[in-house]
């Protein structure tokens, strides 16, 4: 059965990464993950097994009838009799609503608490044995991002009443897993935001500007894939092959529920920086990319690339205390605007 027909019939929300062979079905906080060539599929924290592996053929995704039944039960929540007629998905007979499920959902909607942000987690990239990018005159990414992160923490503590936590405060190595553990350990019920600070490198020394990334299954934007490859390269320091990590990560629940909010935070931060630095650096915009450190953080999460240390002019700006302070103020004002808007609209659900 081609699952895309089922998805279209019930108008379900999904993301399909053909390159990785991963299909993610989403509804509210529910997530189902299917992998090409695999009998295992993942729903919530649990792994299930189908009698046949998932097969992908030129944009069509074939799954066993058990998976179709599973999707209808969990995502459609109706009793549906279906059959395959000439290779087409056909619903036969009457569909019955399950009363308990419907009233149960209404109950939870009514008791949903107002959403607020309590904690801001700042994640200075790299550190210790991992210098990150090395730029003009030997400038190291790990040093620049730590300086700016410290200023950002100071600024946020001064101008907001939120708790501010750093994943590292000095020049030490912190693995990506430890970073997300720190983040998730301080997150109770998704009330934190996570901001990872990095600096860019490019072979082309004229590359310039700042940009912000939110997590996406589909990297997009100019060079988005390249950047995520560089930032994920830290995984090699942990002596595990990148591909294994990627698989392990994809096998877990994909936190697509925070994607929209992360996108908004990224755009607020970009605006904040643009206002403060006043065209000293161009705004390269908001992009989506696959970053390990963002993927594992089950909260609103953004990665900021503050400029190119391989560009002479930007490296010099990034080293200066004056520019670092402006940058920290810009990022802080973006974060604060986001939080104000988030709390005023109950997580962007009201007044839109």
Residues making contact with Zn ion (CB under 5 A): 125, 132, 198
Closer to Zn ion at the Cβ: 35 or 287? Answer: 287
Helix axes 312-319, 321-344, angle to 10 degrees: 80
Buried b (16+ CB within 10 A) or exposed e, 307-345: bbbbbeebbebbbeeebbbbbbbbbbbbbbbbbeebeee
Closer to Zn ion at the Cβ: 268 or 292? Answer: 292
First to last CA, the chain: 39
Q: How far is the CB of 274 from Zn ion (least distance, A)?
A: 21
Pairing of strands 300-308, 192-200: parallel
Closer to Zn ion at the Cβ: 41 or 292? Answer: 292
Closer to Zn ion at the Cβ: 153 or 200? Answer: 200
The rounded Cα 73 to chain-centroid distance in angstroms is 28
Closer to Zn ion at the Cβ: 142 or 162? Answer: 142
Helix axes 312-319, 141-159, angle to 10 degrees: 50
Q: How far is the CB of 248 from Zn ion (least distance, A)?
A: 21
The rounded Cα 350 to chain-centroid distance in angstroms is 23
Closer to Zn ion at the Cβ: 263 or 306? Answer: 306
Closest residue by beta carbon to Zn ion: 198
Q: How far is the CB of 133 from Zn ion (least distance, A)?
A: 6
Q: How far is the CB of 173 from Zn ion (least distance, A)?
A: 13
Q: How far is the CB of 233 from Zn ion (least distance, A)?
A: 9
Q: Report d(CA 21, CA 38) in Å as an integer.
A: 10
Q: How far is the CB of 232 from Zn ion (least distance, A)?
A: 10
Half-sphere exposure of 33 (CA within 13 A, CB side): 24
């Amino acid at each position: 059965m081609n699952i895309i027909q089922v998805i279209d019939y019930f108008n379900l929300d999904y993301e399909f990464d053909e390159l990785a062979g991963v299909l993610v079905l989403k509804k509210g906080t529910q997530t189902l993950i299917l992998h090409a060539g695999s009998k295992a599929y993942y729903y919530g924290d649990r792994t299930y097994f189908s009698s046949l592996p998932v097969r992908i053929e030129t944009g069509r995704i074939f799954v066993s009838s058990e998976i179709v039944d599973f999707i209808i039960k969990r995502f459609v929540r109706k009793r549906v009799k279906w059959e395959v007629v000439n290779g087409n998905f056909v619903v036969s007979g009457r569909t019955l609503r399950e009363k308990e499920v419907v009233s149960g959902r209404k109950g939870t909607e009514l008791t949903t608490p107002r959403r607020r942000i309590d904690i801001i987690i700042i994640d200075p990239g790299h550190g210790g044995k991992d210098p990150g990018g090395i730029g003009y005159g030997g400038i190291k990414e790990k040093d620049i991002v730590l300086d700016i992160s410290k200023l950002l923490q100071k600024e946020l503590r001064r101008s907001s009443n939120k708790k501010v936590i750093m994943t590292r405060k000095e020049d030490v190595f912190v693995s990506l897993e430890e970073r997300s553990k720190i983040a998730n350990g301080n997150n109770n019920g998704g009330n934190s935001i996570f901001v990872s600070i990095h600096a860019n490198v490019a072979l082309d020394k004229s590359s310039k500007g700042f940009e912000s990334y939110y997590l996406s299954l589909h990297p997009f934007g100019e060079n988005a894939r390249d950047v995520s490859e560089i930032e994920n390269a830290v995984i090699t320091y942990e002596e595990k092959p990148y591909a294994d990590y990627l698989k392990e990560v994809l096998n877990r629940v994909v936190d697509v529920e925070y994607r929209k909010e992360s996108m908004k935070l990224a755009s607020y931060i970009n605006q904040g920086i643009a206002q403060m630095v006043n065209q000293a650096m161009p705004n390269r915009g908001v992009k989506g990319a696959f970053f390990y450190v963002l993927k594992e953080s089950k909260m609103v999460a953004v990665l900021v690339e503050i400029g190119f240390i391989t560009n002479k002019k930007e490296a010099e700006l990034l080293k200066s205390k004056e520019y670092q302070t402006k940058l920290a103020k810009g990022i802080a004002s973006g974060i604060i605007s986001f939080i104000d808007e988030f709390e005023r609209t109950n997580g962007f659900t009201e007044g839109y």
